[in-house]
């Protein structure tokens, strides 16, 4: 069986406007939106569009095989499968991983996995991160990871994004005030058509829920001395056949054994029955690091996955909990919103600076609109909320009686208005289905940087009961529901 890594080396990794449009056809198919899929497929048959779309691509020669061949390949299939099974989202992972080492174990790595479920990672079938790490002049490390997605086997597309993380001297990610990892994002850019590729790739990355968390979880578990990795050598005949066809044998890879985690959570924490939050509360499994100045058993150092235990002296009648995660009450949504950290890490290197600037500007515009809406809500007497780790990752929410208002914020320009609002419509409809219950009505809001001009989008929002607003209209929206 070939891995994604083998397919990238054999076929190359493409990234053009046509590749992205073709990938979007797979997204529509997996969403079973037959009408939209048919219309999109018909557009892709236009010869003029095909010629133009294939010509819109970034400069450069693509994947550098001499660098990729230095990578140690790690299969994260077991990690992704377990995270999906227990619905452990990005927020849960951030809370768990904030205090453990996630610095890559090798200078060059390729961490890949098959996607679980039709909705994961924009409907892709597999994903992979090419990870590089180097020491930073100010201490710690600079980690770079490039994301490749594959919708159709043998046709990988990427990198659709390159993410940068600063890691401190202990190998932990540097976080903002909300404990979210500070990261930069770069997207491919066509010099002749600025913004076209980067806008689409940014959209795919926003749909690639779970990819970054799965990467960090995999790296963290590789540091645990009681979590094993097994080396898999491809079958000889298949490897020889692959070498005859593509000039190189199949790659040996490593598989992470997650049993130390799964046994603890499933048997002691009842994770399958009660959910991951309750399981961690009951079994108190967690990562633990022992340093040279305080080694385990007087001699062992490093990071370990720590099974259930209790602290304290039973003779004194007291027991102290070592680790606790409290799942929220069923009728509670979100936590108090206290503003976003709009600053990104400083740029390292000169590659794709224009793309990085656009990404930073879009992020800053998004955060500004979000903060404006939060300020308007506060002034009107409402409490703006951000999502709790276990919830769908909406941008803002607030409660009014038995109504829960959920807002998705989008930075917009004349060129990306349709794409951004289309994505937001799908997001808020999903949030509503996830958060509605018998005693609560969920209202949907899309807040855009600029007023929406497209008539079809305005009508689509009206017919689906989505409030479409922008900063100049925030007070009007809020006053209407408060009256």
Q: What is the CATH number for 461? A: 3.40.1350.10
Q: Do 47 and 104 fall into the same domain? A: yes
- pLDDT value at residue 446: 96
Q: Which domain holds residue 125?
A: 4-257
Residues 424 and 437 in one domain: yes
| Residues with pLDDT less than 70, the chain | 1, 31-33, 61, 85-96, 117-122, 177-179, 209, 224-226, 258-332, 338-360, 389-390, 438, 482-483
Write out the DSSP string of 54-67. HH---SS----HHH
Q: What is the dihedral of CA 90, 92, 95, 101, to 10 degrees?
A: -60
- How many of the other CB atoms lie within 10 Å of CB of 68? 17
Within this chain, do residues 89 and 213 fall inside the same structural domain, yes or no? Answer: yes
Point out the domain boundary residue: 239, 257, 275.
257
Residue 333 lies inside a defined structural domain of this protein: no
Looking at the domain assignment, is residue 322 inside a domain? no
Query: Are 180 and 293 found together in one domain?
Result: no
Q: Residue 443 is inside which H or E element, if any?
A: strand 441-448
SS3 label, residue 134: strand
**pTM to 2 decimals?**
0.57
308 & 243 share domain: no
Q: Specify if 344 maps to a domain.
A: no
Residues 270, 153 within the same domain: no
Strands of 117-193, DSSP E:
126-135, 141-150, 157-167, 183-186
State phi, psi for 184 to the nearest 5 degrees.
-105, 155
Asked whether residue 336 is domain-assigned, the answer is no
Computed over every residue of the chain, the mean pLDDT equals 77
Q: Is position 451 within any domain?
A: yes
Q: What pLDDT digit, counting tens, does each position of 331-359 carry?
A: 567 777 766 433 322 232 333 444 445 55
Q: Is 177 exposed, middle or buried (0-12, 13-18, 19+ CB in 10 A)?
A: exposed
- Is 158 a domain residue? yes
Specify the DSSP element, H or E, that contains 470.
none
Domain count, the chain: 3
Q: Token pair for residue 276?
A: 């991951």
Q: Are residues 473 and 419 in the same domain?
A: yes
Same domain, 138 and 220: yes
- Is residue 244 domain-resident? yes
């Amino acid at each position: 069986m070939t891995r994604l890594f083998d397919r990238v080396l054999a076929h190359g990794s493409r990234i053009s406007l046509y590749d992205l449009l073709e990938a979007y056809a797979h997204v529509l198919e997996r969403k079973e939106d037959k009408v939209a899929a048919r219309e999109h497929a018909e557009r892709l048959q236009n010869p003029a569009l095909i010629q133009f779309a294939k010509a819109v691509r970034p400069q450069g020669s693509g994947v550098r095989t001499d660098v990729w061949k230095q990578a140690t390949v790690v299969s994260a299939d077991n990690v992704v499968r377990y995270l999906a099974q227990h619905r452990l989202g990005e927020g849960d992972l951030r809370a768990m991983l904030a205090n453990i080492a996630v610095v890559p174990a090798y200078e060059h790595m390729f961490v890949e996995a098959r996607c679980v479920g039709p909705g994961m990672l924009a409907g892709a079938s597999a994903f992979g991160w090419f990870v590089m790490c180097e020491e930073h002049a100010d201490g710690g490390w600079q980690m770079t990871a490039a994301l490749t997605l594959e919708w159709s086997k043998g046709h990988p597309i990427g990198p659709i994004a390159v993410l940068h993380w600063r890691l401190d001297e202990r190998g932990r990610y540097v976080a903002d005030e909300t404990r979210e990892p500070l990261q930069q994002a770069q997207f491919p850019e066509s010099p002749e058509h600025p913004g076209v590729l980067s806008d689409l790739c940014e959209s795919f990355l926003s749909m690639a829920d779970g990819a970054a968390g799965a990467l960090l979880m995999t790296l963290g578990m590789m540091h645990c001395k009681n979590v094993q990795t097994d080396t898999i050598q491809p079958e000889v005949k298949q490897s020889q056949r692959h070498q005859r066809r593509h000039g190189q044998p199949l790659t040996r890879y490593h598989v992470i054994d997650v049993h130390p985690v799964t046994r603890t959570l499933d048997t002691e924490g009842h994770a399958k029955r009660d959910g991951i939050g309750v399981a961690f509360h009951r079994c108190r499994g967690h990562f633990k690091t022992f340093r040279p100045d305080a080694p385990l058993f007087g001699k062992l150092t490093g990071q370990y996955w720590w099974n259930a235990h209790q602290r304290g002296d039973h003779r004194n009648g007291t027991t102290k909990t070592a680790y606790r995660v409290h799942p929220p009450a069923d009728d509670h949504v979100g936590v108090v919103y206290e503003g976003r950290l709009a600053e990104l890490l400083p740029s390292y290197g000169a590659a794709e600076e224009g793309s990085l600037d656009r990404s930073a500007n879009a992020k800053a515009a998004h955060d500004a609109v979000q903060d404006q809406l939060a300020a308007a809500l506060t002034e009107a007497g409402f409490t703006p909320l951000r999502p709790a780790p276990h919830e769908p990752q909406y941008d803002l929410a607030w409660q009014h009686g038995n109504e829960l208002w959920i807002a998705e914020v989008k930075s917009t320009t004349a060129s990306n208005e349709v794409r951004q609002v289309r994505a937001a419509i799908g997001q808020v409809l999903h949030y509503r289905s996830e958060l509605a219950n018998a005693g609560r009505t969920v209202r949907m809001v899309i807040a855009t940087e600029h007023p929406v001009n497209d008539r079809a989008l305005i009508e689509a929002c009206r017919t689906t009961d989505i409030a479409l607003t922008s900063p100049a209209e925030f007070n009007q929206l809020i006053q209407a529901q408060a009256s």
